[in-house]
Chains A and B, each alone.
Chain A
Amino acid sequence: KAGVTQTPRYLIKTRGQQVTLSCSPISGHRSVSWYQQTPGQGLQFLFEYFSETQRNKGNFPGRFSGRQFSNSRSEMNVSTLELGDSALYLCASSFYGSPQETQYFGPGTRLLVL
């Protein structure tokens, strides 16, 4: 079974631009979660989608948004990029996103904001 995939793998943007990242979950998984990883703050939860609905949200500003499609693929969007948004963005999938379910991570998209 193919693992979680993310595109693109690398991105360079400038401040003020916006960016869209994509995540394809493991086949059959309906829950997709997004995380931001930085050296200073570590791994932080952004939001989780299940059946095209956002179920949980972390403590990030409204510039960070996401959506999920009927095939469970998910996108996240960051508008008005700031230098501090430079990070590795990871998505993870699971079947139902229940609290005791294992989440499987994708390889991440490394975003650099100049």
Chain B
Amino acid sequence: GENVEQHPSTLSVQEGDSAVIKCTYSDSASNYFPWYKQELGKRPQLIIDIRSNVGEKKDQRIAVTLNKTAKHFSLHITETQPEDSAVYFCAATSGGLVFGKGTKLTVNP
């Protein structure tokens, strides 16, 4: 079945810096890659997603890139703000969503 690896597990940046989180997946049949943000005690919220027919997608300060050949995708957050602090999960579809282990992002003011 599908396996998703996510790195790093923790990331600390200064406000205004960029943050990059990387994920790899194993099943070449996977064709949908969402990213979720989960704040402490809250539900995961979709922040951006990408489908296999697209290489890059951007939404304001957030962008995701997908390399299907290498089977990896990345989340890029620019101009980070303290409210970006949360745990971020990448996922790939294989039946249900298969999630990475998460990255705890801390943005220091």
How far is A4 from B101 in the complex, measured between Cα atoms in Å? 23
Number of interface residues of B (CB under 8 A): 23
Q: Chain A interface secondary structure, helix, strand, loop or mixed?
A: strand
> Is there an interface contact between A102 and B99, defined as CB atoms closer than 8 Å?
no
Q: Chain A interface residue count: which class?
A: 20 to 34
A4 CB to closest chain B CB (Å) equals 8
B44 touches A48 (CB 8 A): no
Residues of A within 8 Å of B98, CB to CB, are 45
When distances are taken between beta carbons in the complex, the residues of chain A under 8 Å from B51 are: 100
Determine the residue in chain B with the shortest Cβ distance to A48: B96
Assess A90 versus B97: contact at CB under 8 Å? Given A99-B32, A100-B31, A102-B49.
no
Q: Counting CB contacts under 8 A, is B95 at the interface?
A: yes
- A22–B54 Cα distance when bound, in Å, is 36
In this complex, which of A35, A100, A104 has the most chain B Cβ atoms within 10 angstroms of its Cβ? A100
Name the distance in Å between A38's Cβ and chain B's nearest Cβ: 11
Complex CA–CA separation, A101 to B33 (angstroms): 10
- CB within 8 A of B43: which of A33, A42, A106? A106
| B97, A42: Cβ atoms closer than 8 Å | no
Q: How far is the CB of B102 from chain A (nearest CB, A)?
A: 6
Measured between alpha carbons, how far is A50 from B108 in the docked complex, in Å? 43
Cα separation A97 to B46 with both chains bound (whole Å):
16
Query: In the complex the two chains form, is A90's CB within 8 Å of B44's CB?
Result: yes
| Residues from chain B with Cβ under 8 Å of A33 in the complex | 96-97
Contacts of B61 in A (CB 8 A): none
Bound form: Cα–Cα A105–B32 in Å: 17
Known: A43-B44, A105-B43, A105-B45. A100 touches B93 (CB 8 A): yes
Sample 9 A-B pairs with CB under 8 A, ordered by A number. Answer: A33-B96, A35-B99, A43-B102, A44-B99, A45-B97, A100-B93, A103-B34, A103-B97, A105-B44
Footprint of A on B, CB under 8 Å?
1, 31-32, 34, 36, 42-46, 49, 51, 89, 91, 93, 95-102
